Amino acid sequence: MRYFLDISYKGTNFHGWQIQPNGNTIQAELEAALSTILKTETAVVGSGRTDTGVHASQQIAHFECESIPTELVYKLNSFLPKDISVNDLKEVNVDAHARFDAKKRTYHYHIHQKKNPFFQDTSYYFNQDVDVELISKGCEIIGSWENFECFSKVHTEVNNFNCEIFKADWQQKGDNHLFIIEANRFLRGMVRAIVGTLLDLGTGKTSLMELGEILKSNDRRKAGRAVPPQGLFLKKIEYPTNIYK
């Protein structure tokens, strides 16, 4: 039988989601806990990667086993470190796939402009003034685009760089800013590169016309820098309802 796990984690102390040879990862911790409880080596497949220092309010991963022990969620949370929690467990169709069946993914990027020690690990401290109205116009341009090669890490093994953007929105509340982006898929490093480019736009380093040229260029070197990972959250993954048992 196949199951989906709904997971949250604070990524500060991990080398991202995917298992690495020389660093602890979310996937490694989850597989170790499952294998111990189920008494057999158990692999998990996530909905996608998150990089070192990136967080997840909701990450989905699937695994297979013959039978589920009682109170598995409780037992997993007892084994897992304090930075990782399992929120839910659902049985799905045997061919359901956490990555390939996902229809929509949502990321949030948090920025604070007033120094705050409590935001240090979960938001990016950026103390320059920004033109939110101009950034919002940039979001409209990005939301209407399709090819995002200019925001992708180089040497990425993908068939194409096309993404369908459902929402790109920049919100401000006092000294705090939130960038929300929803799409069918994301490229490696894409969200952090978009935020860096939008900050260039909001601080006058880039114009709306230049933003259009960056998108047309398909050249990562022309886009803005990747902002730090601590402000980025994988917020939500959505699936068709017919994959659940």
Q: Which two tokens stand for residue 235?
A: 């917020």
Annotation marks residue 51 as catalytic: yes
| Catalytic choice (6, 51, 169, 200) | 51
> What distance in Å separates the CA atoms of residue 44 and residue 66, rounded to the nearest whole number?
15
> What distance in Å separates the CA atoms of residue 204 and residue 196, rounded to the nearest whole number?
12
Q: Print the SS3 string covering 32-56.
A: HHHHHHHCCCCCCEECCCCCCCCEE
- Check: CB of residue 44 under 8 Å from CB of residue 5: yes
Q: Which two tokens stand for residue 134?
A: 């101009």
- Check: CB of residue 236 under 8 Å from CB of residue 168: no
- Check: CB of residue 96 under 8 Å from CB of residue 62: yes
Burial of 164 (0-12, 13-18, 19+ CB in 10 A): exposed
- Check: CB of residue 231 under 8 Å from CB of residue 123: yes
Q: Calculate Rg over the CA atoms of the chain.
A: 19
Q: Please identify every residue annotated as catalytic.
A: 51
